[in-house]
Amino acid sequence: MEIANPIEEARRYVANAEEVIKKADYDPELKRYTDGKYVKMAGNTLWNGCLVALDALFGISKRKGRPDIDKYTEAARKRDKKLLAFVVDGYSTIHLCMGYDGNKSKKVCDAGFDYANAIIDYCEKLLPVTVCA
pLDDT values of the chain reduced to their tens digit, one per residue, 133 residues: 567 899 999 999 999 999 999 999 999 999 999 999 999 999 999 999 999 999 999 987 766 667 789 999 999 999 999 999 999 999 999 999 999 999 999 999 999 999 999 999 999 999 886 555 5
Residues in the chain, overall count? 133
Amino acid at the residue 94: I
Query: β-pairing, 26-27 with 32-33?
Result: antiparallel
Alpha-carbon separation of residue 59 from 54, 72, 91 (angstroms): 8, 11, 19
Q: Are 112 and 38 in contact (CB under 8 A)?
A: no
Return phi, psi of residue 88, to 5°: -65, -50
Which SS3 state, helix, strand or coil, does residue 34 take? coil
Strand (E) positions, the chain?
26-27, 32-33
Q: What is the DSSP letter of 127?
A: S
pTM score, whole prediction: 0.90
